Amino acid sequence: MASSTSEKHRIAVHEKKRKEMMVSLDSSANLKPILIANGSSLRTALQDEFERQKSEMTRETDRNRTGADRFVGKSDSMEESLKMQTVGLVKLEDFQQKRQALEEEKMREAARSNELKEDEPKKKKKKKSKYNLSFAMDEEEEVTGATDKASVEKQSTTSSKKGQFGKNPAVDTSFLPDRDREELDRKEREELRQKWLKMQEAIKQEDIEITYSYWDGTGHRKEVTCKKGDSIATFLEKARTQWPELRGVSVADILYVKEDLIIPHHHTFYDFIVNKARGKSGPLFNFDAHDDVRLVADATVEKDESHAGKVVTRAWYNRSKHIFPASRWEPYVPGKDYGAYKIKG
């Protein structure tokens, strides 16, 4: 819309200047030498001068045209040229011919631009394919170049690694925190723990022979086979079945006395064996009965005697706890120091 308006303004300016020029030429005397030299009529001279000034004005207008007018689309310029060529009354045939000619020119330009666009990728592909053509020497050079490049990159990487700060191998850094070392230590400790637990379970499943004495004022010895992992309550349940006097008594009303200590029912034989528990008159981890038969007496060495544990009813203990040997008995307390027991001199 802006281009058509400017074109109309330009035509009006041309027409105005043409009229002024015609008036000036009619009154001018400078055209006489021109008419004589060319032998032309006044009308032809005026027409030539008009065309010359028109072309000059067109060139001047093109120079002064704004940026928006310079970059007008091709279709708009063709429409304007069609309007310029068909000013005034024109025959329909002439108008159609001129329009067809402009459309053909437009199609030819479009086809030419498409050909240029198609040629550009082909040229690029050809340029790429040129680099693919090589002989054996070229391939060797490329391989050598790639190897050299890789070696240079490797050297640069090595140099950069060497330039980095790190631990001094000559200094003891074991006291510093190390995540990998700590994780390795943790795994090793866990493996050792699992191994130790398996060994302890195997120990608990081992058989042990318990020598005991049913005590009702006098001793009556018998033996029971148990597992090292069994509790005192399990042992008393097995011992109760061996005596008619105890079959009617519950396990809770039966006591187990070992080395003058009343052992609670929840403890296991494994606890005493592993901890090397000590009693008042002998070790709690030996469940057989034997005397110290050493020939040489030494007061600095503990006696190696183990006494059979006593199984008594709670009722008998309550009646006789003021009488020897029940007067010496006391409940077992884990970790308590009951003193040393020596070999008799």
275 has a pLDDT exceeding 90: no
Is residue 119 domain-resident? no
* Size (the chain), residues: 345
| Averaged pLDDT for residues 133-161 | 54
Whether 53 is in a domain gets the answer yes
254 lies in a domain? yes
Mean pLDDT of the chain: 73
- For residue 281, the enclosing domain spans 207-331
Asked which of 44, 66, 88 is the last residue of a domain, the reply is 66
In a domain, 166, yes or no: no
Question: Residue 291 falls within a domain, yes or no?
Answer: yes
CA distances from 47 to 18, 25, 52, 287 (A): 10, 11, 9, 147
Q: Among residues 43, 66, 89, which one ends one of the domains?
A: 66
pLDDT tens for each residue of 206-250: 888 888 888 887 878 888 989 988 999 999 999 898 888 888 888
Give the model confidence (pLDDT) of 59-102 as tens digits. 776 665 544 444 444 455 667 776 676 666 667 777 777 788 88
Choose one of 41, 66, 91: the last residue of a domain.
Answer: 66
- Number of domains the chain is built from: 2
Express each pLDDT in 25-61 by its tens digit: 555 445 445 444 455 567 787 778 778 877 887 777 6
What pLDDT does residue 343 have?
Answer: 39
pLDDT over 90 percentage in the chain: 11
Domain-embedded: residue 134: no
The mean pLDDT value for 183-201 works out to: 92
